[in-house]
Structure 1
Amino acid sequence: MSFPLHVVLPEGVDDPAAPSGGNRYDREVLNHLTPDLPVREVAAPGAWPRPAGSDRDHLSRVLGGFPDGATVLLDGLVAAGVPEVLEPHAGRLRLIVLVHLPLSDETGLSAAEAAELRGLERRTLHLATGVIATSTQAAAHVAAMHDLAEVHVAPPGVDRATPAVPSPTGQRLLCVASLTHRKGQDVLLDALTRLTDLDWECTFAGSGTPLIADNRRIRFAGPLAGAELEAAYANADLFVLPSRAETYGMVITEALAHALPVVATEVGGVPEAVGTVADGVPGKLVAPEDPEALAATLRAWLTDADLRRRWRDRALARRETLTGWDETARRLTEILGKIEKGSR
């Protein structure tokens, strides 16, 4: 491929104070694209997906500055809520939308808000030349929701890491996610209140307001990146992600890259991220919004040394099957080429 790829990202994609899976995906995959594919990035300021009028105007000017026939990859957070901005440019540009999370799948929305966002996203995706999702489940979900013939899949990669050294008791629990309703930290806290008779400690790493005051067992570490995040994984025994909705769950594969077993909710693309090995799942999947089931799973982990060994062995085996960001970039390049060829 030789055409320049124009990429429109939300402003703040590299802000360490506000890490997100979508931002991490965007940055990593662009960093790993082959030098043979020139990339021109533009950051779009705004409170996406509901930007101010001035930010809509800015995005329109950005799109207007791209030459006819240009391929433009837009982060779905920017594009999906403003079809009226994209529409004047859809006929002359090759617009490709990368959907990290369908807008209406965000938790905490009223029925009216979800319906409005779903309608806006539908209009946007039908304007697009191509649509890309980050898991097989998410692609099928987006295609069914918006009556699309095809949604391409480019799953996230992960950096290989040194396996964490387990403690004898497995008591060090870790949850890495922004402190939002969708990520379900409140469910995990509820589950932990049912385990006061056992020894455990839990670290919550992520941006947002702590749900409770820190105490002896529970620590809110704030957003972590780089060496601090690596240290959090290295000093954990079990990774827990109690999300209510998730298109993939990149932190799951990050945990598995450190050979940490995973307890997560069976939602969206999470089963794809967790994966399986010859003798089963490297951990366990539980129903969302079920603190009792989550507590029972954690109790089993904390009280059964043989189960901990089995899950760790599976996590080590799953670690060997993980693919890197170079594979994601290769897949994305392949998809872009296919879309370009099909649009001629």
Structure 2
Amino acid sequence: MAYDEPRADRGGVTERTPRTASLRAARRRRAERLGRDQGSAVSRRQLYAAGLSRAEVRANVRAGRWQRVGRHVLVVHTGPMALQTKLWAAQLSGGPRARLDGASALVAAGLTGFDVDRHRVSVPRGARVFRDALVDVRQTRRWRVDDLAGGAGTPRTRPEVAAVRGALWARSDRQAALLMTMVVQQGIAPADRIGQALLQVKRDRRLAFLTDLVTDLLGGVHSLAELDFARECRRRGFPEPTRQVVRRGADGRHYLDVVWEEWGVVVEVDGIQHALAQEVVADALRHNDVTLDHLTVLRLPVLGLRVAADEFFAQIERALVEAGWSGLGPAA
């Protein structure tokens, strides 16, 4: 290491100090080490904490060693930026509590084939927000600490939560459906966990559409849902029900999904088709006809069977017990 000319200290003993250029080089290496686990992206906050001055940061950019990405992030090389570099740069732009969210979080989790024009970053209320060519930093009322994905990599929202938010924030229903379907198909998050995350959304203009979509992704084919229902009944020790019972109503024959004839309890397993407008009136008429036959009718959406089974089966058990079932296991 090169040294400046000797100088005398207060006690008359001479010492040598490293040249300023060597110190700057050491700080540059420190900055590069910071970027190793962050796709070579480093925030200005991190650089200043590592001992670099604002003048040094500007000098490294002017010298062609580093490149700026947005207002708050530097990449400690000047070559092409990989996807991981862009993701880290977007997250670091939002500050220490920021996390990738929506489609950007899904891309960071491994989603491929879905284009993201500007990376979405969520911050809690009161944090700084802005938009530029790379990143859209926004406060969200849905920001929660336990929504943070665990493990290494870019700080991001858990995949099932990110899938719901990405679909809510999509430009169109078509884009929302594409994103959510790709997430399930590529194994980024299973449909049942997405359904559980969707239950946290209380109101949104796209909520009904996404509920139908998740139901479809869960395999809401009517017969499969009924088979799952029968399997759950056996597992929980319920009496064996009769499936696809035919009843004659005022406007013809009705097919009831699940019936306990002895106790007068009916469960209708509602697949995605029950959300269609043309089915609503027919469903209501059938429900009323069966109720007038002095039967207890409970509705079970396929989505509920997947994500809230305990709650629905508790209601079914209550209906059976109130109708006289002993609750001691399957009927003999």
Say which one has the larger Rg: 2
TM-score range, shorter chain: under 0.3
Return the TM-score normalized by structure 2: 0.23
**Higher RCO, Cα 8 Å, sep 6+:** 1
